[in-house]
Chain A
Amino acid sequence: MRTPNLVEIENVGVRYRSADLRLGRARNDVWAVRGVSLSIGHAETLGLVGESGSGKSTIGQCVLGNVRPTEGTIRVAGFDVGAFGTRVPLDYRWVAQVVWQDPYRSLTPGMSIGTQIGEPLARRRKRSRAEVATEVARLLEVVGLEAEMAKERPSRFSGGQRQRIAVARALAAEPRLIVLDEPVSALDVISQAQLIEMLEKVQRELGVSYLLISHDLAVVRHMAHRTAVMCRGQLVESGTSNAVAEMPTHPYTRELQDSVLDLSSTEREARSSGRAVPVARQQAHTLCPYLERCPRAIGACERDLPRLVQNPETRHLTACHHPLTSPSA
């Protein structure tokens, strides 16, 4: 049965247990994510942006089934992912795949890339060596590499090529969803542009959905149909990528926007607040996650947690007591 959405995330919260095993020590548990609801349609790209530590990767891990949400539900293509035990069923690996950020560490050194791409193929269905080899060659071509490269080891590829190999391996499982966790942030602009083009082509041809996790608003704007913004474990804004990029209504989204260094940023004045940064932050998730830094905070912000509501003007969702209204210049 084809549901309207491939992925449905409802009110998900994740609490990490502190790893401290010494007895008699107070547990220092943290909620990395709280109250997040998201959905991804078929052949759709959802961009998830936020600073590091905002819980983006945690959501990605939940969707992959590698982290079990402490509360809430996650459904992907009929699987109740939130209810998986410590082992993810093999069948689910053929639904959701992942490409990680670091191209230099995401391939096993010393093993030929053909073998690595072929691993899921061989596991999924019994296939002869020749069939696996043909399929590997085809996948390499899909991601824009040459079939003869299958015999090479990862060390001789550039960062951009390694990301393509990682994509080929993800595609080998014939997934419906690929979680892209900062897929281009370690690449230079030209490799970035090449990889983005390739990912878009793959989506058009194979109809996979992407969960694109990135701190780079410009990349998300380019690739994602819809964008969700996370701040310290909570969802603060979401809507179509154009609406979020052009008319951010949450002050935090605005800060993210302003911090993008693009070619127009020739002015040299310091833009950051200059305030000292705290080493570790704790988040209670009972007030607005952006309160400490927010220049627009009002009385209500000190009392209640703002709920996500639809902004009548821009039609996207914002969780803020004092949202920006006029489109940003």
Chain B
Amino acid sequence: MKGQAGRPAASPRGRRRRTRRQIRIGAALLVLIYVVGLVATFTISSESATEQSLTERLAPPGRDHLLGTDQYGRDLLARTLLAISVDFHAVLLAVAVAVVIGVPLGVLIGMGGPWFDRVTMRVVDAFLSIPTLVVVMVAVASLGQGLVNTALGVGFSFSLIYARIARTETLNIKNEPFVMSARQSGVGRARLVGRHIMPTLARPLIVETAVILRAGFMLQATLSYFGLSVQPPHPSLGNLLRDAQEAAVEAPWQVLPAGLVLVAIILLLNLTSDGISDLLAVSGTPRRLLDGARGRLSRLPEVSSGSRSLVIESVTIQVDEGAVVRDVSIHLERGEVVALVGESGSGKTMTAMSAAGLLPPGAEIVAGQVQVNGHDLVGASPGLMRSLRSADVGVIFQNPISAMNPTWRVEKHLTFPSVVLRGLTREQARQRAVDLLGEVGIADPEGCLRKYPHELSGGIAQRVMIAAALAGEPSVIIADEPTSALDSTVQVRVLDLLLGLRATRHFSLLLITHSMGVVAHAADRVYVMYSGEIVESGAVSEVLGHPEHPYTQALLAAVPQNRMRERELKGLSGSVPRPTRELPGCRFAERCPHVAAACTAGRVPFVERHGHASRCLRAQLESDVFAVEGRRGDLP
């Protein structure tokens, strides 16, 4: 296992960079082809490409005709070059028509009421079921042949695809808080649609456009091949292919120029569209939840790992702008509950996700070690990573409903991994799901299995998530703010459920939270994070009872105390410096009430005494004084 700890072969950041390059290259070459075609239309006279010359029929490539001539004696190179821009224009026109009709139509349908939506979507679906070729035939029959008319037909047909996507997305976002807030601020309907809704649709539409362009080129070639679009003798790729086919017996090479150009365009579009959908794919939790499910897994052989189920050792995690987690070390003993607290943006989630192999795209472990049950995670093969992730580490996300696939019932969320990963039959998997739901305290497991995520209340959804995390019988569970989205009564129940399960199933629990109350209630030990660093750690009673670091003290002072009489909340001013910012000394210095010159002079060490450690010069100084005077803990 050791020795692999260097840079992982395919780091997520490298992958993203490669994807971007892939898109850039693909798009650049496509533009190049188009520009060549465009230049050709201005430099090559259309007569030279259309005038027939029977004396020069099927001339082989040579000095006069670089690619030879076709069966009518026309220069093949000139015809191919001229064809390029013709096809590009036809496809672009069709897509433009599709976007201009489809997107507003879809948004309109999405913004209408449920009845309007049902009726219009039926109509759209009915039209969508008609093959594009048929739609084009109708367009040609009523408008006549020609490039513009077929492009209109294709555009209309494609517009329904856009309408469908735009409608789904609109339905998704029209009840988003940002749309409701804009409406609340008195924003009118037109501006609401134009400025707030439409721009957010861009992402899925761009992904779709790359796919539609590819279909457009194929269709355009087909249409002119059948003489419906560009009319002979004018060149287009489809026309050239048909001419080549007619002459195939005498001169089989004739198919090559147009054929190769078409293949090149399609391949480049594939490259670009794959890249785009990779890059823009919502890298949200639903996919992550099931990430482990892309192949069978076998349980890993046991490696002796001592008493620690999770060890994060001096880990530094980097994103494009710099380090977001700096030299962090955390460990979990078997069966232990460890809390990780800190303000938002302090790097809690990044740290925890590194242990689950679930770092978001663009983030990468650049130094340090992560071990789960003795297995190295840094530099692990994707296969090992998957097994670790789905069998040894269970993850519970903060917002359970958005971590689920909205189109799947609870049943599928719970049975899919067992069926795919463990090879259980559907019946077995279902039984297991029922058992798990019972175990997490859901009264009617059968009924719950039939529900969709949006039909669940927050508390129930979180229980389902816990059941899903338990399915792999993990030895470590990472719970990222499992209760912040829940209200207090449910919070306590969910926490107690987790603690109870830990007792029966013996996993260790890494609990990420910003609530000191949750820490006090649930954890054995706690790590406090600030701006990418651990600033204090120790047993909960120690850290909460005698906080050493001024930041921990501020955190405790800011907790609104329910049972205490009126008391000022002592908020810190300012905010956490971004972890990526390089600072000379203590990262808390600019907000610290006790800051001294020495604090910003150099990196403050993390010093441990009796299991309680902190990163503060003042605390270290004070405790030295105490130690000298023998006042701390030594006196009776």
Taken residue by residue from 564 to 595, chain B's Cβ proximity to chain A (1 for < 8 Å, 0 otherwise) reads as: 00100111110110000000000000000000
Query: Which chain B positions have C-beta within 8 A of A188?
Result: 342-344, 514
* Segment with Cβ contacts to A, from B9-17, B206-214, B240-248, B515-523: B515-523
Q: Does A286 contact B (CB under 8 A)?
A: no
Interface string of B203-239 (1 = CB under 8 A from A): 0000000000000000000000000000000000000
A98 in contact (CB, < 8 A): yes
Instruction: Name B343's contact: one of A19, A93, A191, A216 (CB within 8 Å).
Output: A191
Determine if B442 and A109 form an interchain contact, defined as CB atoms under 8 angstroms apart.
no
| A306 interface residue (CB < 8 Å to B) | no
Closest to B567 in A: A222
CA distance A196 to B448 in the complex (A): 38
B402 — nearest CB in chain A belongs to which residue? Answer: A105
Distance of A124 Cα from B488 Cα, bound (Å):
40
B459 contacts across to A, CB distance below 8 A: 52, 277
A279→B447 contact, CB < 8 A: yes
- A-contacting 9-mer, from B47-55, B182-190, B596-604: B182-190
Q: How far is the CA of A191 from the CA of B185 in the complex (A)?
A: 24
Is B407 an interface position by the 8 A CB rule?
no
User: Is residue B443 contacting chain A, with contact meaning CB distance below 8 A?
Assistant: yes
Does the CB pair B569–A196 fall under 8 Å? yes
* Chain-B contact segment, one of A30-38, A74-82, A255-263, A318-326: A255-263
From the candidates A119, A166, A255, name the one contacting B489 in the complex (CB within 8 A).
Answer: A255
Query: Is the C-beta of A187 less than 8 angstroms from some C-beta in chain B?
Result: yes
- Tell me whether A259 and B492 are in contact (CB under 8 A): yes
**B196 is an interface residue with CB less than 8 A from chain A:** yes
Most chain B CB within a 10 A radius of its CB, from A52, A173, A190, A222: A190
A166, A193, A257 interface centre (most CB from chain B within 10 Å)? A193
Query: Quick one: which of A57-86 are within 8 Å of B by CB?
Result: 64, 66
Given the complex of chains A and B, what is the CA–CA distance between A161 and B569 in angstroms?
18
Interface residue B541 (Cβ < 8 Å from any Cβ of A): yes
Closest approach, in angstroms, between the C-beta of A179 and any C-beta of chain B?
A: 9
**Complexed CA–CA distance, A190 and B569 (Å):** 9
Within 8 A of B (CB), among A259-306: 259-266, 268, 270-272, 274, 276-279
Interface members, chain A 105-127 (any B CB < 8 Å): 105-111, 116, 119-120, 123-124
In the bound complex, do residue B561 and residue A262 qualify as a contact, i.e. CB atoms below 8 Å apart? yes
**How far, in angstroms, from A185 to B344 measured CA to CA in the complex?**
13
**Cα of A279 to Cα of B541 in the assembled complex, Å:** 37
Nearest Cβ distance between residue A146 and chain B, in whole angstroms?
Answer: 12
Q: Judging by beta carbons under 8 Å apart, are B500 and A218 in contact?
A: no
Q: Tell me if B178 and A278 are in contact (CB < 8 A).
A: no
Residues in B neighbouring A52, C-beta threshold 8 A:
457-459, 486-487, 490
Q: Which B residues are in CB contact (< 8 Å) with A245?
A: 562
**Residues of chain A within 8 A of B199, CB atoms compared:** 108, 110-111
- Name B555's closest neighbour in chain A (CB-CB): A189
Q: Is A197 an interface residue (CB 8 A)?
A: yes
Q: How far is the CB of B196 from chain A (nearest CB, A)?
A: 5
Within 8 Å by CB of A279, from B182, B442, B572, lies B442
Query: CB distance A158 to B575 under 8 Å?
Result: yes
Q: Could you tell me the dominant secondary structure of chain B's interface residues? A: helix
Q: Which residues of A contact B188 (CB under 8 A)?
A: 123
Q: How far is the CA of A257 from the CA of B562 in the complex (A)?
A: 8
**Contact call A119/B186, Cβ cutoff below 8 A:** yes
Which residue among A194, A260, A264, A277 has the maximum number of chain B CB atoms within 10 Å of its CB?
Answer: A277
Q: Could you say which of B176, B200, B520 contacts A261, with CB atoms under 8 Å apart?
A: B520
Residue B345, interface by CB 8 Å: yes
* A278 CB contact (under 8 Å) in B443, B487, B570: B443
Complex contacts, A159 vs chain B, CB 8 Å:
344
Question: What residue in chain B is nearest A64 (Cβ atoms)?
Answer: B184
- Kindly state whether residue A192 has any CB partner on chain B within 8 Å: yes
Docked-complex contact A277 and B186, CB < 8 angstroms: no
The residue that B441 contacts in the complex, of A161, A169, A193, A277, with Cβ under 8 A, is: A277
Q: Do the beta carbons of B517 and A51 come within 8 Å of each other?
A: no
* A83 CA / B508 CA spacing, docked (Å): 56
Q: Which residues of A contact B566 (CB under 8 A)?
A: 242
Contact in complex: A21, B520 (CB < 8 Å): no
Q: Which of A97, A107, A263, A268 contacts B178 (CB 8 A)?
A: A107
Which residues from chain A contact B180 at a C-beta distance below 8 Å? 66, 100
A111-B196, A259-B489, A277-B493 known; A221 vs B185 contact (CB < 8 Å): no
Pick the contact of A169 from B185, B488, B490, B491 — CB < 8 Å? Answer: B185
Q: In the complex, which residues of chain B have a beta carbon less than 8 angstroms from the beta carbon of A119? A: 182, 185-187, 191
Q: Which residues of B contact A100 (CB under 8 A)?
A: 177, 180-181
Top 7 nearest A-B pairs by Cβ distance?
A261-B517, A215-B487, A193-B571, A188-B514, A218-B560, A276-B443, A106-B177
* A interface residue numbers (CB < 8 A to B): 19, 21, 51-53, 64, 66, 90, 93-94, 97-98, 100-102, 105-111, 116, 119-120, 123-124, 158-161, 166, 169-170, 172-173, 185-194, 196-197, 215-219, 221-222, 242, 245, 255-257, 259-266, 268, 270-272, 274, 276-279
